[in-house]
Amino acid sequence: MKAVILAGGKGSRLAPYTKILPKPLMPIDDMPILEVLLRQLKYCGVTDIVITVGHLAALLKTYFLDGREFGMNITYSHEEKPLGTAGPLALVAGLDDTFFIMNGDVLTTLNFLDLLKFHREQHAIATIAAYRKTVKIDLGVLQSKDGVKLTGYIEKPSYDYVVSMGVYIFEPEVLKYIPKNEYLDFPDLVLKLIEAKEKVAHLPFDGYWKDLGRPDDYEQAAQDFVNMRSEFLKEK
């Protein structure tokens, strides 16, 4: 199996750090977050990696090279213009079998083989790793039916949502829904698949997951990695 790792974004939410460093190279203790992902994939037996690059691509290529140092085969697919989160897949050659695809800035203890097993059991065209996230609103929320007369007032409520973890498994048939050199994000691709009556599954995961998009999440993830290193890397 191949894994495609999306690393072409500008990481604007982590600016100014990402003005000079691509987000997947942001350090988590003694290694970039992308190296953590690569080590996890290798642990699961996935060693054929395609990294989609754009913003500051030269830095990513200089660090990871051809992957030999990591015991992997790494190639690169370059975006000449921003193509969104799903659009870059149309440029990747050789995706002729089931493949992983994931964001290059995710820290999780998810076992990717569990996701693969579930995907095959579901006979889905695409499977999304999902996480239940609680969002706290630090304000009083007003409820109204007509926009004027209040029907309720909730002080600092919390809401639960099932969110995408940025980790997917696709069958190659997904590619026919992705136009070449056109901008396309994953939500739009998933809606295309659903509209076409394709089966899209999701696997709920209740372990550790964090998206490193915001400074506070990045700082928390860096500390969590130090405290839970053996759980992320399966080190003895």
Boundaries of every domain in the chain: 2-129+164-233
Using 50, 70 and 90 to split pLDDT, how confident is the model at 211? confident
Asked if pLDDT for residue 17 goes beyond 70, the answer is: no
Q: Which residues contact 104 (CB under 8 A, 6 or more apart)?
A: 5, 6, 7, 23, 24, 33, 34, 37, 51
pLDDT of the residue at 14: 53
Beta strands in the chain (DSSP E): 2-7, 27-28, 31-32, 48-53, 73-78, 99-103, 106-108, 126-136, 140-144, 150-155, 158-170, 200-205, 209-211
Task: Determine contact, residues 51/74, Cβ cutoff 8 Å.
Answer: yes
Q: Tokens 């399966």, residue?
A: 234
- Indicate the fold that domain 2-129+164-233 takes in CATH: Spore Coat Polysaccharide Biosynthesis Protein SpsA; Chain A (3.90.550)
Single out the residue of 89, 47, 29, 23 nearest to residue 223, CA to CA: 29
Question: What pLDDT is recorded for position 13?
Answer: 56
Residue 12 phi/psi, 5° resolution? -60, -30
Name the band, by pLDDT with cuts 50, 70 and 90, for residue 236. Answer: very low
- pLDDT of residue 134 exceeding 70: yes
- Residue 19's pLDDT is what? 54
> What is the amino acid identity at position 137?
I
What is the average pLDDT across 221-228?
Answer: 93
Better-predicted residue by pLDDT, 173 or 58 = 173
Half-sphere exposure of 110 (CA within 13 A, CB side): 28
pLDDT recorded at residue 102: 95
222: pLDDT strictly greater than 50: yes
